[in-house]
Amino acid sequence: MAENLVTRNGTYYVRMQAPKALQELRNSLGKTGRNDVWRSLGTKDRAEAKARFPLVLLEIQQAFEAEKAALLHAVAKPPLVVPDEHALQSAVFHFIRAELHQDEVQRINRPTFRQAEMARARLVAECATNPPSSPLEAVVRVLSIQCPDEIAAWESEKRERLAEELKQCLARNEFALVDWAIEELAHTNRWAIEPDSLTYKLLGRMLIKGWLQVLSTARKRDQGLYEEPDSSLLVSPVPTHAPPVTAANESRTIRKLKKGEGLRDYFEDYLKEARAGLRSNGLKDSRATIRQFIECAGDKPVTEYTRSDVARFKRLLSQAPARSEKLFPGVPLPKAVELNGKAGKPLMKDATVRNKLSILSAFGKWLEGNVDGVDASNFQTTLPPRKNSNRMNPFTDDEVRRILNAPSFVGCESEKNQSKPGSHRIRDWRFWLPLVQAFTGARLNEVTQLKVEDLSKKDGVWGFFISDGDGRSLKTESSKRWVPMHSKLEELGLLNYREKTAAAGHSDLWPDIPLTNGRRSDRAGKWFRGFLTRIGVKGEGDLGGSHRWRHTIADALRRGGVDEHEIAQLLGHSYDVAKMTSHYGLEAAITPARRRELIERVCYPSVDFSLLTDTGAPGAP
Confidence at residue 540, expressed as pLDDT on a 0 to 100 scale: 52
Supply the pLDDT for residue 498: 94
Q: Are 538 and 529 in contact (CB under 8 A)?
A: yes
592 or 256, which is more confident: 592
Mean of pLDDT values over 439-444? 92
| Residue 148: band (very low, low, confident or very high) from pLDDT cuts 50, 70, 90 | low
Rounded to 10 degrees, the C-alpha dihedral 123/124/130/131 comes to 110
The pLDDT tens digits for 367-424 are 888 888 888 888 988 887 765 545 678 899 999 999 999 999 999 999 889 988 898 9
For the beta carbon of residue 504, count every other beta carbon within 10 angstroms: 9
Q: How far apart are CA 158 and CA 164, in angstroms?
A: 10
What's the rounded mean pLDDT across residues 139-153?
63
pLDDT top residue among 232 and 204: 204
Q: What percent of the chain stands above pLDDT 70?
A: 82
Top-confidence residue, 442 or 588: 442
AA letter at 408: S
Q: Which of 481, 452, 528, 493 is nearest to 612 (CA)?
A: 493
pLDDT at 561 over 60: yes
Is pLDDT at 144 greater than 70 in this prediction? no
Q: What DSSP assignment string belongs to 184-226?
A: HHHHHHTB---TTSHHHHHHHHHHHHHHHHHHHHHHHHHTT--
How many whole angstroms separate alpha carbon 73 and alpha carbon 25? 12
- Give Cα 102 to chain centroid, integer Å: 33
Least confident of 80-84, 126-130, 185-189, 206-210: 126-130
If you average pLDDT over each of 58-62, 436-440, 610-614, which comes out highest? Answer: 436-440
Task: With a cut of 50, say whether residue 616 has pLDDT above it.
Answer: no
Highest mean pLDDT among 152-156, 171-175, 491-495: 491-495
Task: Identify each DSSP E strand in 347-495 by its residue range.
Answer: 455-458, 461-466, 481-484
Which residues pair with residue 81 across a beta bridge? 191
**pLDDT the model gives residue 112:** 77
Q: Tell me the residue length of the chain.
A: 621
| 35-78 residue pLDDT tens | 888 888 888 888 888 888 887 887 788 788 888 877 776 665 56
Cα–Cα dist 156/592, whole Å:
66
Query: Is the model's pLDDT at 617 over the cut of 70?
Result: no
Neighbouring C-beta atoms of residue 312, cutoff 10 Å:
16
Q: What is the pLDDT of residues 72-104, one digit of tens each?
A: 766 655 667 888 888 888 888 888 888 888 888
Q: What is the pLDDT of residue 78?
A: 63
Query: Between 350-370 and 307-319, two packed helices, what is the crossing angle to 10 degrees?
Result: 160
Distance CA 359, CA 272 (A): 15
State the Rg of the chain over Cα.
32
Question: Which residues face 483 on adjacent strands?
Answer: 464
The stretch 435-459 carries a mean pLDDT of: 93
Exposure of 545 by Cβ count < 10 A (0-12 exposed, 13-18 middle, 19+ buried)?
A: buried
Q: What's the pLDDT score for residue 620?
A: 36
Q: What is the mean pLDDT of residues 515-537?
A: 86
pLDDT at 233: 39
For residue 497, name the pLDDT band (cuts at 50, 70, 90): very high
Output the DSSP codes for 578-608. Answer: HHHHTTTTHHHH--HHHHHHHHTT---TT--
- pLDDT of 577: 36
* Cβ atoms of 303 and 374 closer than 8 Å: yes
User: Is residue 327 predicted with pLDDT exceeding 50?
Assistant: yes
Q: What is the pLDDT of residue 276?
A: 47
pLDDT at 588: 42
Q: Is the pLDDT of residue 462 over 90?
A: yes
- Above pLDDT 90, what percent of the chain? 21
- Which pLDDT score is estimated for 137? 65
The mean pLDDT value for 444-449 works out to 92
Provide the 3-class DSSP secondary structure of residue 352: helix
Q: At 464, is the secondary structure helix, strand, or coil?
A: strand
Q: Is the pLDDT of residue 143 over 80?
A: no
Judged by DSSP in three states, 169 sits in: helix
| Per-residue confidence band for 621, with pLDDT thresholds at 50, 70 and 90 | very low
Region 224-245: what's the mean pLDDT?
A: 46
Which domains occur in the chain, in start order? 2-76 (no CATH), 85-110+146-238 (no CATH), 263-389 (no CATH), 397-612 (1.10.443.10)
Residue 203 pLDDT exceeds 70: yes
Express each pLDDT in 235-289 by its tens digit: 433 333 334 433 333 333 333 444 445 677 788 777 776 554 455 556 777 888 8
- Look at residue 212 in the predicted model and tell me its pLDDT: 92
Q: Give phi and psi for 447, each to the nearest 5.
A: -75, -45
Kindly tell me if the per-residue pLDDT of 365 is higher than 80. yes
Lowest average pLDDT, out of 231-240, 403-412, 458-467, 479-488, goes to 231-240
pLDDT at 288: 86
CA distances, 134 to each of 140, 143, 267 (Å): 10, 15, 39
DSSP-based three-state secondary structure for 511: coil
Higher pLDDT, 617 or 188: 188
